[in-house]
C-alpha cells in the first residue's frame, strides 16, 4: 500500500543541507530580492508522516510555517505567501509529488517531487522552465 511505503521512506524530520537554483525559483515566483536573500540563507526543516490515513507535511522556514494534510489523488487547498493554491498529491515510482496551481494569480503552477536518494530527501521544484533542487538530511 502506498501510504505504508510513504511512511517507511519519508517519515521523520528533515533539515535543508544545500540547494541548487533556489533564488532563480523564488524570482520566477515573484519574490522580491530582499525576501529571496533571506529565504536563501535559511535552513528550513520539514516533517513528513502518515497520520490518520493522510499524508502530513509540516514545513518550517523560520519566518513562515505551513502544514499540509492530504489524501493521495484528491484536491486540497493551501496558501503560501498569501497566494491560494489548488493542490493534488500523488505517489508513483517511489516519489511523492504535489502539483500546486495558483487560484486567482498569474504565478506559474509548481510541481514538487520528493524522493529519498542515498539517505537524503531530494526535493525538486519545477515552475515554468526553472528547476530548483533542495537536499535535506534526516534529523530523526
Sheet holding 120-127, edge to edge: 65-70, 54-60, 45-51, 12-20, 130-138, 120-127, 110-117, 95-102, 83-92, 75-80
Q: Which domains does the chain possess?
A: 2-138 (2.40.128.20)
Note the pLDDT tens digit of each residue in 99-135.
Answer: 999 998 899 999 999 999 999 999 999 999 999 999 9
Q: Decide: pTM greater than 0.95.
A: no
- The runs of H, that is alpha helices, within 31-92 are 33-41
Q: Mean pLDDT over residues 2-20, rounded?
A: 96
Q: What is the pLDDT of residue 140?
A: 67
Amino acid at each position: 500500500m502506498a501510504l505504508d511505503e510513504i511512511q517507511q521512506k519519508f517519515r521523520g524530520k528533515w533539515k535543508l543541507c544545500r540547494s541548487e537554483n533556489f533564488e532563480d525559483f523564488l524570482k520566477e515566483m515573484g519574490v522580491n530580492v530582499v525576501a529571496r536573500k533571506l529565504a536563501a540563507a535559511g535552513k528550513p526543516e520539514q516533517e513528513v508522516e502518515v497520520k490518520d490515513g493522510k499524508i502530513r507535511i509540516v514545513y518550517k522556514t523560520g519566518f513562515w510555517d505551513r502544514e499540509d494534510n492530504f489524501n493521495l489523488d484528491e484536491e486540497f487547498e493551501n496558501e503560501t505567501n498569501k497566494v491560494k493554491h489548488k493542490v493534488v498529491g500523488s505517489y508513483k515510482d517511489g516519489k511523492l509529488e504535489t502539483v500546486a496551481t495558483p487560484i486567482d494569480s498569474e504565478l506559474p503552477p509548481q510541481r514538487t517531487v520528493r524522493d529519498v536518494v542515498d539517505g537524503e530527501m531530494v526535493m525538486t521544484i519545477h515552475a515554468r522552465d526553472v528547476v530548483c533542487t533542495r537536499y535535506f538530511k534526516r534529523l530523526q
